[in-house]
Amino acid sequence: MDSTCFNTAQRHSCQMMNPDLFKPPADLRQAGQPSKPNRSKTEQIRPELAQLVVDTKTGRSYSKGKLLGKGGFARCYEMTDLANNKMYAVKVIPQSRVSKPHQRDKITNEIELHKTLQHKHVVKFSHHFEDQDNIYIFLELCSRKSLAHIWKARHTLTDPEVRYYLRQIISGLKYLHSKGILHRDLKLGNFFVNENMELRLGDFGLAAKLETVEQRKKTICGTPNYLAPEVLNRQGHGTESDVWSLGCVMYTLLCGNPPFETLDLKETYKCIKEVRYSLPPSLSPAAQKLISAVLQKNPSDRLTLDQILAHEYFSKGFTPDKLPPSACVMVPELNPPSPAKKFFTKMAKSLFGKKKSKVEKNPTEEKEDISKLVSGMMKHSISRQISYKTVGVNETTSPAGQLASSGPLDTPAEEESRKSVSRSFKGTVASSTEVCEDALTPAAVAEAAMNALNSCLSTMPAASKNPPCLVKPKPFVWVTKWVDYSNKYGFGYQLSNQNVGVLFNEGTHLSLCDQRRTVHYCLTNNKHFTFQANALPEQLQNQKHIVELMANYMEQNLMEGGDLGCDERPSPGACPLLLQWMKTDHALVMLFNNGSLQVNFYTDHTKVILSKLSDSYVLTYISRERLSSSYPLSVLGERGSSPELRHRLRYVTQLLQHYASA
């Protein structure tokens, strides 16, 4: 046992490792694990990492953010490069932990190995440096943490989700094996998930070069529940050992616990060596067959990675192209794609999915391409979340996941229920009521924005870059975070002044404002009510609770969409209401009752915000680097913009045109 590598005092963590996950109910030391060595006081009390870290060789400065994870060997922090606001996950290893040559060699080997890896499903290595206190390893930041965090919140996942994650793990693993690298520590905590719900394989602290059977390392290293029989029997590591761990991962995600987990570590090892585990009847037959074919005692009897992908579990089962962020904490609603969906995906790749051509298309060709794409989307009703054209008296709104172009009128029962709610508020607990008979409709907001953009684009001269932006744009409210839970409740969003709102599926809207002290509620007939949060009617408590749940989820799991660089913060009292939201495969469009419009592009996280100020518009563009620039729309029309921004403005305009004519 003295050569095991899973003792937390001997292991270092990568990115957001959670050391408490997979720990058996009984402490492992009671089952024979060696106790942690006594440490000196200097080792036990680590000095606090400075708020500002400077690379003396390059002169670059990094601001320390929140702690992402920690282990016995290292800590991982979120850090921001102050030169460009780029964010990283930074593994910080104290120099005191690598004072011995073999410890230093281990870190050096990890760095040198990780530097050579370039793959979509492997955590990106950026750079590293050290000072007298620490070694700093800068890695790709995966904002949705790891599969271990998702597993902890969900306990079990559905078959389509497991297929989705396994495909990406296998893709990354095939890449490693093709380069002669064994990971040797595959577990949920080492599969990181980025903002787009894409998986990245990380933590190469135990990775090693593939060797012949005679040369294979006989060290027992990895996580106890995921160790292969040949590793425990000191027969060495091969690619088959990683495949075994993959089978354990699949079992854990589907069943809620690792296959060989027991209360006693020795018993766990015995179960692994004897391949003694049970398959719950709740598993699909295909899943049971695949797990059985992977968890074979003899390494040569196990399926290869290619054979796993060819198995009926994958070939006959639906795998989603992507998962919604809500899948981190709840079961997502997943539907197999229709032929129309496949058509639109193919069309969309022609616009967003390829590298930029060195020869830029002329505006006419570009406009025709975008028009074909958007009209194809509207024609085939792809990803349409438009459920009404206007909001009027006695007209319901249901913007969640419906393909109907317009919502039906209230049924008599719904109408009476709505009137009853309205009567119960009137003249009692509501501090103010207002009927906005001349309120803007989604169609009016879309049409006004479309006309303004068309006017701008029609006069816009060719330019290679954007004009100088406003030095200090006036503060305005925009959406910094959002979550689509329309399969059950509605669409939630957080504004830049920290107010949070949800547009519910039945068309009502509830917002928590002024640091959640005030509640704004809007009925489908545009009648608004304002309450103090501590005096909210009983009828609205459930909706308020849902808004709070979404707010907490966004606070804990989502990063803000960029930095506008305004000296002033928008007024906390400003609370524009979301009138409607629409989604394509590449963008989210949000229309607000103050005449503003926001479009978020998924692939590169750029954003276009059109703010209505008096009788004119100000356009704010948030770039891939999360940096913002604001311009009066009239200035862009006179001076031109970069091809990147012009391309997005044309896409938005075409989308609004087809929406207005739908």
Catalytic residues: 185
Q: Name the token pair of 451.
A: 């006309």
Q: Centre a 10 Å sphere on the Cβ of residue 274 and count the other Cβ atoms it contains.
A: 11
Strands 432-435, 616-622: pairing is: unpaired
Alpha-carbon distance of 249 to 229, in angstroms, equals 16
Alpha-carbon distance of 263 to 267, in angstroms, equals 8
The predicted pLDDT at position 274 comes to 95
Q: Centre a 10 Å sphere on the Cβ of residue 267 and count the other Cβ atoms it contains.
A: 15
Binding region for ATP:
91
Burial class (CB in 10 A: 0-12, 13-18, 19+), 350: exposed
Q: Name the token pair of 81.
A: 């490069």
Q: Looking at the structure, do residues 156 and 212 belong to the same domain, yes or no?
A: yes
Q: Looking at the structure, do residues 133 and 151 belong to the same domain, yes or no?
A: no
CATH of the domain at 158: 1.10.510.10
| Contact indicator for 620, 628 with CB cutoff of 8 Å | yes
Q: Is residue 22 part of a domain?
A: no
Of 481, 650, 616, the residue nearest 558 (C-alpha): 481
Q: Looking at the structure, do residues 95 and 227 belong to the same domain, yes or no?
A: no
Give the containing element (helix H, strand E) for 491. Answer: strand 490-495
Last residue of a domain, one of 306, 327, 348: 327
Q: Looking at the structure, do residues 487 and 624 belong to the same domain, yes or no?
A: yes
Last residue of a domain, one of 270, 294, 327: 327
For each successive 10 residues of the chain (662 residues), what is the average pLDDT?
33 35 33 39 59 94 90 87 94 91 90 95 96 95 93 92 97 95 92 95 89 56 83 87 96 95 90 94 95 96 96 94 90 67 48 46 48 39 30 29 29 45 43 58 89 93 85 77 87 92 90 92 81 90 92 85 56 74 84 92 88 85 87 91 91 83 64
Q: Is residue 351 part of a domain?
A: no
CATH of the domain at 651: 3.30.1120.30
Q: Looking at the structure, do residues 650 and 579 belong to the same domain, yes or no?
A: yes
The model carries a pTM of 0.51
Q: Looking at the structure, do residues 108 and 188 belong to the same domain, yes or no?
A: no
Looking up tokens 């990380």, which residue turns up? 202
Q: Is residue 376 part of a domain?
A: no
Which one-letter amino acid corresponds to residue 547?
Answer: V
Q: Is residue 413 part of a domain?
A: no
Q: Looking at the structure, do residues 74 and 191 belong to the same domain, yes or no?
A: no
Alpha-carbon distance of 364 to 85, in angstroms, equals 36
DSSP 359: S
DSSP string of 116-137? T---TTBPPEEEEEE-SSEEEE
Q: Is residue 343 part of a domain?
A: no
The predicted pLDDT at position 392 comes to 28
Q: Which are the contacts of 607, defined by CB distance < 8 A and separation ≥ 6?
A: 561, 562, 598, 599, 600, 601, 620, 621, 622
Q: Looking at the structure, do residues 492 and 447 belong to the same domain, yes or no?
A: yes
Residue 110 domain boundaries: 28-139
Binding region:
91
Alpha-carbon distance of 30 to 182, in angstroms, equals 31
Task: Specify which residues 87 forms β-bridges with.
Answer: 80
End-to-end Cα, the chain, rounded Å: 69
CA torsion through residues 386, 387, 388, 392, sign: negative
DSSP 354: S
Q: Looking at the structure, do residues 67 and 158 belong to the same domain, yes or no?
A: no
Q: Which are the contacts of 161, defined by CB distance < 8 A and separation ≥ 6?
A: 253, 320, 323, 327, 332, 334
Q: Looking at the structure, do residues 164 and 121 belong to the same domain, yes or no?
A: no
Q: Looking at the structure, do residues 461 and 601 belong to the same domain, yes or no?
A: yes
Q: Looking at the structure, do residues 170 and 134 belong to the same domain, yes or no?
A: no
DSSP 68: E
CATH of the domain at 35: 3.30.200.20
Looking up tokens 């060989």, which residue turns up? 260
Q: Name the token pair of 492.
A: 């939630």
DSSP string of 600-612? EETTT--EEEEEE
Q: Is residue 573 part of a domain?
A: yes
Alpha-carbon distance of 186 to 192, in angstroms, equals 12
**What total number of domains does the chain contain?**
3
**For the chain, how are helix, strand and coil distributed in percent, rounded to 5?**
35, 20, 45
Q: What is the largest CA-CA distance in the chain?
A: 85
Last residue of a domain, one of 139, 163, 197: 139
Q: Is residue 70 part of a domain?
A: yes
DSSP 188: G
Alpha-carbon distance of 369 to 363, in angstroms, equals 10
Q: Is residue 602 part of a domain?
A: yes
- For residue 214, is it left (φ>0), alpha (ψ between -120 and 50) or beta? alpha
